[in-house]
Chain A
Amino acid sequence: MSYVGKQPRENITGIIALESQTASGTGSITFDGMDGTYIAYEFHFINLHPATDHVDFTFQVNGVDLSGFDETITSSYVEAYLREDDGNQALTYRDSKDQGQGVAYQPLTRETSNDGDSGVSGILTLYDPSSTLYKHFAATTNDMQNQDSYDAYARSSFIAGYIETTTPIDEIDFKFSSGNIDTGTIKMYGIKTGSLTEVS
């Protein structure tokens, strides 16, 4: 099939830009309408700045026709960090930020600073949220932690898990563990295949 000019949007495949939301003193950022159109969704975090110091950037999801962002999550949480004065560095498992069948908002950072030059950037991938199997997610984030008595830390965090529900997921919510999202943008992309070749 060929087109003159743009393809009809429904025929485009690849990684498709779907929605962008920019915070301005916002309590949370919610995206809804996820469905089986896309095999996976990517959420790109760009310089999300917390109003409050030492807070976690977090997410939760909501099943179709359910209320409350409180689905059951089992997750792992790993971080690598280096202090700016080169005085402390490690790769470590952070057991205070994982969940074992918990329903809390899942941290994607830990104690992010609200210094003027601080922020959170990274990507969360949510695989096939419309599936009736458990839903997998994987995230990598970068942020800065600034403890009063030390230089700031550069930190990369690696979070993954699954959402233990067989109900399709259609909503996702992002917020800091306390206080507003001062500034920053979250962009939502869909990974689209179009037609599938069935093999058996």
Chain B
Amino acid sequence: MTSYVGTGFPKVIEDKNVGWVLIKAQKVTGGVSSVDFEDGTNSVVIDGTYDEYMFVLTNLHPASNDEGIAFQVNASGESGYNEVINSTFFRAKHGESGASHQSVDYVDSYDQGGGGTSHQRLCNDVGNEDEESVSGTFYLYAPADGMKVKHFISRMVECHSSDIIMDNYAAGFINTYKPIDEIKFLFTSGNIDSGTISMFGLVKS
């Protein structure tokens, strides 16, 4: 077996400005209703500088029991976080107590169609016991494209309030031609008690 540490492969960021670069990381230290990333505010960039944006959510803990993490966006010049979303949602699950809740299912109550403008769920119902939370990765593609809808893909792993692992997949598009320049993450009800959301941009090659 051969191994090496720290150098060489592949050339990520060390030698030139390529790959994923940090734009903004926000750590919740007290209850907040949402975590927002707005172009031009607090060093956040959501424009054509990057082809793709990645949000890494780690250990988001809800103040209220049985709440899902969700997102919405604003198109440039708009307000209200109520853009039209078309989405799909499916999940795998398994209970802590042996052979229970073992399935993979499409959840039609968590998708959006027909002009839905709700906050898009990214997971089911996270528990708010001390050790429970949700983590995962959310991708937003080419939000500055003025000719196409804006695609997103999300995978979130949660500790459900009933002691169930849920592996949640949400994907879809934001049905607007306008550039997107604001995004927020929040629980379906109640505050975000703690956790971190880190925003990265994929440098154009």
Contact = CB atoms under 8 A, between A and B. Distances in A.
Contacts of B95: 74, 100
Contact of A187 (B9, B30, B99): B9
Contact of A101 (B5, B61, B96, B166): B96
B173 interface: no
Interface in A91-150: 91-93, 95, 98-101, 125, 127-128, 131, 133-134, 136-138
A17 B26 contact: no
A60 interface: no
A197 B27 contact: yes
Contacts of B28: 198-200
Interface string A25-67: 0100100000000011000000000000000000000000000
A103 to B, nearest CB: 13
A83 interface: no
Interface residues of B, number: 63
B132 A133 contact: yes
B92 A196 contact: no
Given A21-B3, A136-B157, A91 B12 contact: no
Interface in A58-93: 74-78, 91-93
A178 interface: no
Nearest to B93: A76
Please list the 6 inter-chain residue pairs (A to B) with the smallest Cβ-Cβ separation, ordered nearest first: A200-B30, A160-B167, A13-B22, A193-B25, A127-B135, A136-B135
Given A193-B196, A196-B26, 11 more contacts: A16-B12, A23-B1, A74-B165, A78-B92, A93-B102, A99-B94, A100-B100, A137-B157, A199-B29, A199-B32, A200-B30
Interface of A: 6-7, 9, 12-24, 26, 29, 39-40, 74-78, 91-93, 95, 98-101, 125, 127-128, 131, 133-134, 136-138, 158-162, 164, 166, 187, 191-200
